[in-house]
Amino acid sequence: MARQFFVGGNFKMNGSVEAIKKIIGYLNDAKLDPNTEVVIAPPALYLLLAREHLKPGLEVAAQNVFDKPNGAFTGEISVDQLKDSNITWTLLGHSERRVILQEDDQFVASKTKAALDGGIGVIFCCGETLEQRESGKTIDVVTMQLKAVKDKVSDWSKIVIAYEPIWAIGTGKVASTEQAQEVHAAIRSWLKKEVSEKVAEETRIIYGGSVSEKNCKDLSKQPDIDGFLVGGASLKPAFVDIINSHL
Catalytic (active-site) positions: 94, 164
Sign of CA dihedral 231, 233, 234, 236: positive
Task: Report which residue type is found at 129.
Answer: T
HSE-up of 178 (CA within 13 Å, CB side)?
0
Q: How far apart are CA 48 and CA 45, in angstroms?
A: 8
End-to-end CA distance of the chain: 18
Q: E strands of 93-158, at which residues? A: 121-126
Residue 11: C-alpha distances to residues 61, 70, 82, 85, 237 (Å): 10, 26, 17, 19, 13
Q: How far apart are CA 25 and CA 18, in angstroms?
A: 10
Q: In the structure, how many helices (H) and strands (E) does the chain have?
A: 11, 8
Neighbours of 208 (CB within 10 A): 26
Q: How far apart are CA 61 and CA 87, in angstroms?
A: 6
Beta-carbon contacts of residue 225 (< 8 Å; ≥ 6 apart): 180, 181, 184, 205, 206, 207, 219
